[in-house]
Structure 1
Amino acid sequence: MKWIEEELSSLADLSLLRTLRESAPVPNRPGYTMRNGQMLLNLASNDYLGLAQHPVIIESMREKLLIDGAGSGASRLVTGNGEQYARLEEALAAWQNSEASLVFANGYMANSSVISALVGRGDVVFSDQLNHASIVDGVVLSRAEHARYRHNDTEHLKVLLRKHRNKRRKLIVTDAVFSMDGDHAHLRELVSLKNEFGAMLMVDEAHSGGMFGSCGEGLCHELGLQNEVDVHMGTFSKAFGVYGAYVCGSRNLIRWLINKARALIYSTALPPSLIAGISTALTFVQTEHWRRERLRSSSWLFRSSLSEAGFHIADGDTPIIPLIVGDNAAALRFSALLEQEGIAAVAIRPPSVPSGTARIRFSLSAAHTEQELVDATRCIRRIGYQLGVLRA
């Protein structure tokens, strides 16, 4: 196994080595994290609506834990499908205005197993080049042909659709909001191409669910396209502040996934306490509109402040705000200096992003105050000058 040591050394030389670091929530201080005894403003979490430490969600989980125990004990197709699953899935389907829904253990398992349930050898998947790794791995597992189109380049996608128009099944799949860039997929154009070429369309709302739509349904609803999407996937681990994932669609789609989605069939069901927490979080996502409003306002403030400071920040309306540094080592140094100043913001490097685009990925929460974000941007600006990312 000597080769492992050599490969790890090579990764370290390229500033690409990853390590695990301990973090912990700060009681009664949402929007912060504790690391090495230091309380840090958490600008790295996906807890977009600030629900991860909500006392009502925690209490609902505690109550269910005491009643039904720690685990579900089996897969959903054996004995793990408690009655709380049916109530949650009915609520999710009503929220998404779909016929049915299905809960999965997490987003990675949902994407990887849904894609491989829908397509196989002789089929083709059209996937944006910046789609999440779970989508890429789902295509690989499916054994379908993988036709990757340039990021948000619908003309390139059209060329590929023409090339493969005679394939048995065609699936277009995209993130709604891209996790490392914070920009939107061109969903209207994708719907048009889906209809023109007789393809299926799957949209991953992991980073847009909870934040878009009148009740947090996601970007598809915000654009009025929900009835044009064949497979609507989202997660509970981000805006919901809990854990898990869901797929919404037709009754026949859900029946098919129950029979063919391997991650559902061969995985132990989520514990009852977690289903209770998700159900409670769904209520807050639907009703506490002020969280979306604050997040949108905070995102605009943070973006504009960094742009005015001289950083190249792309326009957008999401809480994912990448600051492109370029060099891997420089991105790591930027992150380390931010931590010294009391800010948690992670350096994102290849293969999570394309080579030469290492960045600090800032991710905001409704739990952050305006003053906290103003102070943070001042600190980021100082470090930008210190590292030469900004020029005087």
Structure 2
Amino acid sequence: MVKNKGLVAKIAPEAEYIIQGKESGAYVFEPHFSSAQRGKATIGDAKVVVLTSNNYLDLATHPEVIVAAKTALEKYGTGTCGARLHNGTTELHVQLEKACAEFFHTEDAVVLSAGYLANLAVISALADDETIIITDQYNHMSIVDGIALTNAQVRIFQHNNLEKLEYILKNSSQFKQKLIVVEGVYSMEGDLAPLDEIVNLSEKYDASLLVDEAHSFGFIGENSCGVADLKNVSDKVHLRMTTFSKSLANVGGCIATDRKTAEYIRHNAHQYIFNASLPPATVAGTLAALKVLKKEPWRQEKLWENTIRFRHGLQKLGLSTMDSCSPIVPIYVGDDQKNMEITKELLAKGVYIATAIFPAVPKNESRLRATITAALSQEDIDFALQKIAEVFQKHGLIA
């Protein structure tokens, strides 16, 4: 066993706290699933209503998606065993890039092995020491980490605060490149970026714009392309990122953009050059999911019906859902310890909702973070609301 010196000594207190929590049963993260996650799933021996999956359109178990993945698995094997620039690009990878570009109405799209890596790739490849990156304070950690890989100057503006954003832009004329980074739907708040107004500012001050559409792709906008689509500004956004692990029920991510920018990312982003490519079975499953998304619009309709039913149910109980207007529905608690206790008690009653505490959210702003999917039945939602009411009443959070 390594003695507690240096690095090990530094991490020991937090590691011991985590181990103690796991051994005492107080740990609320990483439950072990033993089934597919639809409206219900099995954790251990218990069947629970799942309100934390990003399988928004219930495509993870769709027969066409599974058959496509199986067929590719039999043809190509389990993996490419290589990076994209060498032996890691199959005809399926090329088809998926073309399909993503077509869906976003862009010239090209760059597919990477995770949505997280897509943000790291685009930011680290394009920003340099002559760039200023202007980023919303609530941007996803993949954006934060991508920025950390650059030598760019960084300015953070208060969440969705257009006045602060414009103030920074107005005072950034000394930089050769300006890059604004926002999310279409914010992953912990569930609210939308005022993207039409942000686009106006980007044009006024000659700034590029990167929009993370991870939690809006597939079910927001006339063409289900995200918030840029909803606000009719798709053709004015230089860089659009999405992930395949949510609406498309697989894994991976892409950057949709013009041809020149795409080729530059392919030949300069370390996350593309030095990372093994997506397994062909995953690529085939993603392609199939994209086709199903287009031809079965009832899935988006069901998702929004479920979202509205759940959000209105919470509001009738007197609970705050903050400014959410998406299938991400936060339930404000405030106290970290109470938040984790509520999560455990709900799980024991047959409802699994993720807990969000610092550093995922600001200190003293802890919340439950529900994500609604098309897989949920009305009975699932009503059952969850009943159990939430019972637990929140017990803790004195509602009358």
Q: Deviations over 1:89-118 (max 9, x none)?
A: 112111111111111111111101110111
CA-to-partner distance for each residue in 1:144-201, whole Å, 9 max, x for gaps? 1110000000100111111212211100011100001100011011101100111000
**Shift of residue 13 of structure 1?**
10
Q: Residues 238 and 257 of structure 2 are in contact (CA less than 8 Å); yes or no, is this contact kept in structure 1?
A: yes
2:182 corresponds to:
174
Matching of residue 196 in structure 1 with residue 204 in structure 2 = yes
Task: Look up the match of 2:332.
Answer: 324
Q: Cα 1:150–1:13, aligned 2, differ >3 Å: closer, same or farther? A: farther
Structure 1 window deviating more from structure 2 (214-223 vs 51-60): it is: 214-223
Structure 2 counterpart of 1:350, from 358, 374, 384: 358
Q: How far apart, CA to CA, are the structure 2 residues paired with 1:170 and 1:153? A: 18
**Structure 1 residue 30, shift from structure 2 partner:** 2.1
For 2:211 and 2:21, the matched residues in 1 are separated by 34
Q: 1:335 to 1:18 in 2, by over 3 A?
A: closer
* Contact 2:213/2:226, CA 8 A, preserved across alignment: yes
Aligned pair partner of 1:69 in 47, 65, 77 = 77
Letter matched to residue 66 of structure 2: I
Partners of 2:81 and 2:21 in 1: CA distance: 44
For residues 77 and 350 of structure 1, do their structure 2 counterparts lie closer, same or farther at Cα, with a shift above 3 Å needed? same
Q: TM-score, normalised by structure 1?
A: 0.95
C-alpha deviation, 1:314, in angstroms: 2.9
C-alpha contact (below 8 Å) 2:121/2:146 kept by paired residues: yes
Shift of 1:356: 0.3
- 1:7 and 2:14 correspond: yes
Identity of aligned residues (%): 31
Amino acid at match of 1:62: K
Q: Name the counterpart of 2:4.
A: none
Task: Output the amino acid matched with 1:289.
Answer: P
Distance, in Å, in 2 between the alignment partners of 1:307 and 1:12 is: 37
1:116 aligns with 2:124: yes
CA distance in 1, matches of 2:331, 2:383: 17
- Alignment deviations for residues 42-95 of structure 1 (CA, whole Å, 9 cap, x no partner): 101111111111122111101110111111121110011111112221121111
Q: Which residue of 1 is the match for residue 312 of structure 2? A: 304
Tell me the distance in 1 between the aligned counterparts of 2:275 and 2:19: 35
Structure 1 residue 24 corresponds to structure 2 residue 31: no
After TM superposition, give the deviation of residue 11 of structure 1 in Å.
7.4
Name the CA distance, whole Å, in 1 between partners of 2:389 and 2:29. 27
CA change 1:384–1:12 in 2 (3 A) is farther
Aligned 8 A contact 1:295 1:364 in 2: yes
Find 1:224's aligned residue among 211, 220, 232. 232
Tell me if the contact between 1:338 and 1:380 (Cα under 8 Å) persists in the aligned partners: yes
- Quick check: 1:215–1:285 contact (8 Å CA) kept in 2? no
Please state how far the C-alpha of 1:18 moved relative to its aligned partner.
7.3
Q: Distance in 1 between matches of 2:65 and 2:223?
A: 18
Residue matched to 2:289? 281
Corresponding pairs, count = 389
Paired residues of 1:172 and 1:200 also in contact (CA < 8 A)? yes
Moved over 4 A (4+): 9-19
In the alignment, does 2:81 pair up with 1:81? no
Q: Structure 1 residues 95-104 or 315-324, which shifts more?
A: 315-324
What per-residue deviation string (whole Å, max 9, x for no partner) do you get for residues 237-273 of structure 1?
0011111101111111111111111100111111111
Letter in 2 for 1:6: P
8 A contact 2:243–2:253 mirrored in 1:
yes
AA at the equivalent of 1:282:
L
Shift of 1:14: 12
Q: How far does residue 33 in structure 1 lie from its aligned partner after superposition?
A: 2.2
* Structure 1 Cα separation of the partners of residues 199 and 367 of structure 2: 31
Q: Distance in 2 between matches of 1:295 and 1:221?
A: 18
Quick one: structure 1 residues 20 and 369, their matched pair in 2 at CA, closer, same or farther if it must change by over 3 Å?
closer
CA contact (8 A) 1:126 1:170 kept: yes
Q: Unpaired runs of 5+ in structure 2? A: 1-7
Q: Give 2:54's aligned residue.
A: 46
Q: CA–CA distance in 2 between the matches of 1:53 and 1:17?
A: 29
Select the residue among 167, 185, 189 that pairs with 2:193.
Answer: 185
Label 1:264 to 1:18 Cα distance change in 2 as closer, same or farther (>3 A): farther
In structure 2, the residue matched to 1:272 is: 280
TM-score relative to the length of structure 2: 0.94
Q: CA deviation at 1:9?
A: 5.0
Q: CA contact under 8 A between 1:8 and 1:17: conserved in structure 2?
A: no
Tell me whether 1-10 or 219-228 shows the greater mean CA deviation.
Answer: 1-10
Letter in 1 for 2:283: I
Q: Which amino acid aligns with 2:33?
A: S
Q: How many Å separate the matches in 2 of 1:292 and 1:89?
A: 23
1:313 to 309, 321, 324: 321
Measured in 2, the distance between the counterparts of 1:316 and 1:151 equals 14
| Structure 1 stretch displaced more, 3-12 or 57-66 | 3-12
- The answer (yes or no) to whether the contact 2:190–2:323 under 8 Å persists in 1 is no
Query: What residue is the counterpart of 2:257 in the other structure?
Result: 249
2:5 alignment partner in structure 1: none
Q: Where in structure 1 are there 5+ consecutive unaligned residues?
A: none
